[in-house]
Structures are given as C-alpha cells and as structure tokens.
Structure 1
Amino acid sequence: MKNNWQMRKLSGVCTVIAGQSPEGKFYNNHSDGLPFYQGKKEFTEKFIGVPTVWTTKVTKEANAGDILMSVRAPVGPVNFATEKVCMGRGLAAIRATKMIDKDFLFYFFQHFENKIIGNAGAVFNSISKAQIENIEIPLPTSEEQKRIVAILDKVFADIGKAKENAQKNLQNACDLFESYLNNLFLDLNKGSKPKKLEIVCDIVGGGTPSKDNSVFYSGDIFWATVRDMRDDVILNTECKITPEAVKSSSTNIIPKGNVVIATRVGLGKICFLSQDTAINQDLRGIIPKNLNQLSTYYLFWWFKNIAKVIEENGIGATVKGVKLPFIKNLEIPLPSIHEQKAIVKKLDELSEQTKKLEEIYQQKLDNLEELKKSILKKAFDGEL
C-alpha cells in the first residue's frame, strides 16, 4: 500500500444498513410496493437483477446506487441496487459518503470477498453490521480513487468480454452435442418402428429399508438414491445396506452394468451402475431382456435424449414424478444391434470431444477469475 494512503474503518466513510425481513403476508408477485430482495439470488456481475417479489410493508430500505452485500452464506458478494428496494436479513446496504467513490468501494468489496472466503476455502456463515463497519479500507485521494476505478473499469470490461465469449463457446459445445443427439433419435424414430419399453426391458422398482434399524445400514451392499446420481456412472453410494435390509424391504438389487433412472425428485437423471446396487423408491432399474436385441449403452443414450420429455411429464404439487405406466409406455426405436453399437461408438466419441472442449472453456473462465483477483489485489496494494 502506498505511504499516502490512509486506513479507515468503513464506519467513517460509509453508512451501513442491516436488512430486516417483513412478514410474509406482505409479499406479492404483482409489483405492489417496493421490490424485495432476501439475499444474493438475483445478483449478477454488478447490478442486481429483476425482482420477483415485492412487499407492501417496508422494513429496511436501500437506495439506487447503494451497494448490497450478501451477509449470510455465502458472505461477501456485492451488487449495486438500481432502484429503491426493501432488504431482507440476507442483505446489508452500504452507502458511500462524499469521502469515497462508490465504484472504488464496490471494487474493494470484490477484493475483500476473497479474504472473507480465506485460503482454505472456509466460508463464514454470516457477518454483522458491526463487523462490516469495522472493516478497514485503504483510502487514497479522491483523484487516485477515480484513476484506479477508470483502470479497473477498462480491464474488467475486457475480461467481461472474454468471459462472455468463453461462456458462449462452452454453451455452444453443449448445444451442439445435444442437437446431434436429438436429430439422431428423430431420424431413428422415422426409420424404424419403435417398441414399448416394457416389451424389451424389465423395469424394476426399489424401496427404503427401515431407518429405525441402524444395523440395516451397516452392510456393504450399495444402496442408491438420487443423491448418488452425480455423474454418468454411480461409483459409490452414500449408504450401504445389509442382505437382511434387502430381504425386509421392497428394495431390489440391480446388476452392475445396467442403468437406473430417477422417476421422482431428480426426474430424468440416468446412470450406469459400476456395482450390483440396491435402489430406493425414487429410482427404477431398466434391464434389457435380450442384449442381442437392445444394447445397454444404446439404452443409456436414448434415455439421455428423452430426459427433458420425462421431466416435462412429471406430476405432483411439490415433488414431481412419473408413474410406472408412463415409463412402461415409452417407445424406443430399435435399429439392428450392429447399428446400435455403431451409434454408441459415435456418441461416445462426440461426448468425449465435447467434454474436452468444456474443460478447455471452463479452465479459461477459471483463469479469467484468477486474473480479476490478481488485478484487484494489485489495485488495493497500490500497485496499479
């Protein structure tokens, strides 16, 4: 930090206003009253997004130009308010005085957010008004603040464009694969007579052993729920059960190498099984009756293609799901097993290429974020 910069507590250069939530009965979604923000859900890169909730009873206000800070996990992210709003307990407003440029203050908080998270990645659960007021900020002259802001505006605009391009390329890579997958199965549907899934597959349900018996959950048999469906292959499960647990419940063990789909909660998800795995009631095992007629790998890609169809057909007030008859009546195109294998080979290759592209663009996005952090550090160390 430069010698002529002063260290000042935020309480000396800002006004901090802690949020307070009105009672829920005053909320609405038809623009009556002030926009209400509870936390960082609507945060963007810089300016808070369009409101979805309004309140007719205002507790704590923020003005246009105030900096809104997320004060509950995650602590630290900031956005500018673009109009007068009501804040809930998850936010605090920081209002700059004439002593400090509000954009300089905004950039400081972006820099400070990295300190809140810490080197080990441990995140604070919350930060109080008093703690915010006690944060110390390096304060150069007004002219120096404006000079630093001008540099950061220019550099971050360039970084923003680079991020936008990388995100666009990342999305294009995903869209291109999905488009190929969709068109492939559209052509297959036109070229061959599909069969109902129940004709070519056994559809096996699951269940949950009694949670009251802890011994049931001390075994070594994989027992899968939607929580275990994080990737294309289930390599492990959070819970493992005993043979007695299987016998005493409606769970079923699906042989390894087969696929399971989520028919409730994570509707549309599909995974291969790396081990013989028992499943709960939210999953279904889909087992081809004749592997000379239907390849499991082809079945996997077909389910990937219709995932959105399954999701769109979910019913339920809170948790959406699809019933067994819906799954049974799904129609799958069945080209020859030789053609299925050729399709799988092509899709596997394209999927691998897409993943490599995704990794490249994601790494570029990560590098740009690190560059932002590095530039912010230089700015507040007085090295710009």
Structure 2
Amino acid sequence: MREGYKKTEIGEIPEEWEVKKFGEIILNYIKGKNPKSLKIIKTNKNDYVYLSAEYMRTKNNIKYCDKNGAIYVDKDDILLLWDGSNAGEIFMGFSGILSSTMAKLLFNENVVEKKFVYYLLRQKEKEVKSTRKGTGIPHVNADSLKNIKIAVPPLPEQQKIAEILSTVDEGIEVCDKKIEKLERYKKGKMQQLLTKGIGHKKFKKSEIGEIPEEWEVVELGNKNYFNIETGGTPETTKKEYWNNGSIFWATPKDLTNKYLIKTERKITEVALQNSNVTIVPEDSIIISTRAPIGLISIAKKSTAFNQGCKALIIKNSSMINSDFLYYAMLTNIKNMQNVGAGSTFKEISKDNLERIKLKLPSIKEQQKIAEILATIDELIELEKQKKEKLEKYKKGLMNDLLTGRKRVKIN
C-alpha cells in the first residue's frame, strides 16, 4: 500500500478521497420533450438548435425548434443519451433545446464540480451503457446508474483535475477547427482546379460543363486510359485461403485514407489461384461501390479486393497521374451515388461506373494539380496527427487523475 492511499471496494485511492455512488451526486434528471415541429432554417429569435445525439456527434443535419414549452440547456450542462441503441453516451458543451431521447443531469454543485463529473462519466461510459434495459428501444436504467461506484476527491482537487483536462480538450478543439478550415479550403481548391485548371484563359463547352480549351472529356470506360475490375471473396471456410496470407485484400472499411498501405485481412496465393478475386497493380484506384458508395483510396501495393469494391487500373502512367485521378474521383462521388441502384442497398454496376465522365488536362497539369492538393492533404494529416497525440495524452491523464493514481497540486 502506497503512503497516503487506502484500500476500498473500487481499489486503492488517496486517503482524502471518498467512495460514493453516482446517486449521491446526481440529484435528478430532466428528460427532453418531443418537439411540436422542427425547422431546417432559424426563422425567429425563439428558435434554438435541437440537440439530437446525431447533431452533437457530427455537427451535421442541424435543425431548430421553438423554445416555448421545451427544455433548454446551457453549455455547462451534462447531457446523457437516455433512449436508443447507444443509450449512455455522454455530451457537454452544447446549448439549445434538449431532444426527447436525451436527459439533463442535475447535481449538488456544492459537492461536485460539473466538469469533473463529465470527465468521470466519460471514463465510466462503458459501465453507464451497461445499465441499459428494455427489449424494444433500450434506455438507461436510472437505478443501476445511481448505484455505480466512483472515487470522489475534495472539491478543490476536482476543480483542478477538470481544469487540466479542459486545457487538453481546448487543444483538441483547436486541431478540429484547423482541420475543418483546411477541409473547406481543399474543397474550394478542388472545385477550382478540377474545373478551371491552372492559368487558362480560353474555355469551351462540354457535356459535363465548361472546361479549358486544351482539356478533354474521358469516360472511365475508355480502354485507352482505364480498365475497371470487379472484386470477389475467397471461400471463408478454407483456412488455406487466409492463414498466413501476404496479399492485400481490401474491403470498403479499409478505404479510410488517401493511400491504401494496409488491409485488415490478407489472402494467400492459393486463394488467388482458386477464387474469383482479381489482383490489381500499385497506383490503381480502389472505390467502394456498395454499402457505402464512394470511399476511395490509391493502392500503394498490388491489392485484391472484395465485391463491395471496384478498381480503376491506369493503362498508361504517362497519360494519367494516379493522385490526380484520386482527386477527380472524389469530385464524382455524388455522380456515383446518383447512378447507384438497388432496393436493399445501392450499388454501382461496372457499366454505370464506365459511363462516369472526367475532365482531363495534360499529364503535366494533372501533376501540378495533384501536387497543390497533396500539399493541403499533408497539412490536414499533420493536424490529425496532433489531435491523435492529444487524445492519447488525454486518455492517459484521465486514467491517472480520475483514479488518484497521480495527484494534482492545489494552489
């Protein structure tokens, strides 16, 4: 036993800390209400953001709701997703109208620092989620939630811990804002470069809009430029197809970055020889063509892929730059989604993919455009790496500070 610590039912904690149940610090909760109506545009001063879990996770799909008769919450309120498959998810930092599936937690603020409790709940999120009950729509079990045991330091130490973790969160938020700004800049730059090019004065009309006079329009089905290959899956019950495999085998969930440098699963030479899988060369563009349509990566190694993907093989690298093709395909995601067909889930066929048209400059201009956009991508990646480091650091801090493993100095 370390000096200054004591044994408890939840492990070793500092002597000044107490073991409490959430029910001793959560006084009550207020559920949100079903809105009379939702708007996609704010029309008067009484309209506030409707705080659904989807909006708070993604900041997308914003809707507004009249404040009259609704439950309004401030940024310093702790919100808990009460109903649904992800019940138990914790949020803070939002102001607006509480959605009907959310609850606002009420505390004795003379005993606890709200922000400290927020971090404590985040650390205990798995345990909070394990309280869910219900056969139809699951919901948080209030009694089980209140019985979860926690280690609670004196109020000044809570405040200091919350201050330290908030500082790290501020750093993460700075990274998020920079990433968002760079993504917006990249989107505008792509629109400009992939339609107007670099330094052109003369333009011509084409079947896919105005393009520089020197450019041409090319279909993906043009065999002078591309081959399109479809994917397949080796029989999953045959161990000899998978065990100790060395050949990349991509599925849509592997297509998360610009470059495909690893796949979750690999297949063997035996699988390649005895299955309906195709292997495509380095610098081919792998595209998810169902569930979902439009994830895109450049293969940096010979790669096989499943039937949820198709591959664009560049016939002649002196005519097509793979990085340029990657960016050009990103601007065609909506086109691909629009031609997707299917009742259960949409899929884009090889024939429909071949009909997609590209605006194509000279190889030199392709390279210049790709270099400009790659520079922006590098800046985005740097910010993402900074954010990842901060998140890892924060996770370690939470484990240390919220358990009392490491102590903070109180001024």
TM-score, normalization by structure 1: 0.66
Of residues 118, 132, 153, the one that matches 1:110 is 118
Is the contact made by 1:78 and 1:109 (CA closer than 8 Å) also made in structure 2? no
Alpha carbons of 1:29 and 1:267: their partners in 2 closer, same or farther (altered >3 Å)? farther
Of residues 227, 240, 246, the one that matches 2:253 is 227
1:268 counterpart SS class: strand
User: What's 1:101 paired with?
Assistant: 109
User: What's 1:338 paired with?
Assistant: 364
Alpha carbons of 1:280 and 1:158: their partners in 2 closer, same or farther (altered >3 Å)? closer
User: What's 1:57 paired with?
Assistant: none
Which protein is richer in helix relative to its size? 1
After TM superposition, give the deviation of residue 359 of structure 1 in Å. Answer: 4.7
Structure 1, unmatched stretches of 5+, are: 20-27, 53-61
After TM superposition, give the deviation of residue 250 of structure 1 in Å. Answer: 2.5
Of residues 237, 241, 250, the one that matches 1:212 is 237
Which protein is richer in strand relative to its size? 2
Give the letter for the 2:183 counterpart.
C
Matched, 1:279 2:305: yes
Give the letter for the 1:77 counterpart.
I
User: What's 1:258 paired with?
Assistant: 284
After TM superposition, give the deviation of residue 101 of structure 1 in Å. Answer: 3.0
After TM superposition, give the deviation of residue 274 of structure 1 in Å. Answer: 2.5
User: What's 1:196 paired with?
Assistant: 219
More deviation, 3-12/340-349: 3-12
1:148-190 Cα offsets, whole Å, 9 max, x none, are: 99x9999999999887665433311111122111211111434
State the distance in 2 between where 1:298 and 1:247 align.
33
Alignment of 1:175-194 (within 5 A): 175-188=184-197, 189-191=211-213, 192-194=215-217
State the distance in 1 between where 2:377 and 2:186 align.
7
User: What's 1:328 paired with?
Assistant: 354
User: What's 1:355 paired with?
Assistant: 381
After TM superposition, give the deviation of residue 259 of structure 1 in Å. Answer: 1.9
Give the letter for the 1:111 counterpart.
Y
After TM superposition, give the deviation of residue 280 of structure 1 in Å. Answer: 1.2
How high is the sequence identity, in percent, across the aligned residues? 20
Give the letter for the 1:177 counterpart.
K
After TM superposition, give the deviation of residue 328 of structure 1 in Å. Answer: 0.7
Q: Quote the RMSD (CA, aligned, Å).
A: 5.1
Is the contact made by 2:247 and 2:267 (CA closer than 8 Å) also made in structure 1? yes
Alpha carbons of 1:102 and 1:231: their partners in 2 closer, same or farther (altered >3 Å)? farther
Give the letter for the 2:181 counterpart.
N
Is the contact made by 1:16 and 1:133 (CA closer than 8 Å) also made in structure 2? no
Give the letter for the 1:112 counterpart.
L
Give the letter for the 2:356 counterpart.
L
TM-score, normalization by structure 2: 0.62
After TM superposition, give the deviation of residue 205 of structure 1 in Å. Answer: 0.8
Is the contact made by 2:324 and 2:369 (CA closer than 8 Å) also made in structure 1? yes
User: What's 2:130 paired with?
Assistant: 126
2:221 counterpart SS class: helix
